[in-house]
Amino acid sequence: MRKLTAALAATLTLASLGVFAQTQLKIAVVDTMRVANECKEGKSIQAALKAFHDQKQAQITTKETELKALEQQVKDPKISEDKKDDLRAKFNSKMYEYQAYAKAAQDEMEARSQKMQAEFQQKLAGVITQYAQSKGLSVVFEKGICLYNADTLDATSDVIAAMNQAYPGTSEK
C-alpha cells in the first residue's frame, strides 16, 4: 500500500511539473514614478496640487505681510505706549490666527495630496491590470523593487500610453 501511495505521489508530482513547464511565465516591469510624472493624468494632478499650494501660499504671505506691518507699528517711536499695548495684543491675536491658518493649510494640502495620490494609484492599478491581461502577462513588478530587469521587460511606455488613453488628464481636481 505504501509503495502504491509513493508511486501515485511521484506520478502526480511529475505530471504537475510537466504542466508547469508547459506554462510560459510572462513578466513585465513598470516604473510607476515615471508613469506618474509623464502621463497626462499625473501631470494634471501635479498642476492641480501646485495651483492649490500657490493659492494657500499667497494667503499665508498676505497674513505674514499684515503681521510685519503690525510689528513695524509696535516699533514706531511716535506711537504712545497705550496704543502699542493694543497693537501688541492685536499682533499676538493675528500671530495665533496665522499659525492656525498655516497649520490648517498644511494639513489640507497633505490630505488633498494623499487623496489624489490614492485615486491615481487606483486608476493606475486598473490600467496595469487591463494592460497585463491584454498582453497575457502573468506578473507585473514595480521597477523600483527589482534588483535587475532586462530592458525588454520594461512596459512603462506602454502603460503611459494606456493611462493617457484611459485618463486624458482633464478630470476635475
**Any domain includes 86:** yes
Residue span of the structural domain in which 41 resides = 2-166
- CA distances from residue 160 to 30, 32, 43, 127, 171 in whole angstroms, order as listed: 10, 9, 12, 9, 17
Report, as an integer, the average pLDDT of 143-167.
94
Task: Write the CATH number for 68.
Answer: 3.30.910.20
Domains identified in the chain, total number? 1
**Any domain includes 173:** no
* 82-108 residue pLDDT tens: 888 888 899 999 999 999 999 999 999
**Any domain includes 11:** yes
pTM to 2 decimals? 0.73
C-alpha cell at 134: 491584454
Helix (H, G, I), strand (E, B) or coil at 115: helix
**Any domain includes 80:** yes
Cβ proximity of 87 and 63 under 8 Å: no
**Any domain includes 71:** yes
Q: How confident is the model at residue 127 (pLDDT cuts 50, 70, 90)?
A: very high
Look at residues 28, 38, 67 and name the one whose alpha carbon lies nearest to residue 167.
38
**Any domain includes 134:** yes
**Any domain includes 172:** no
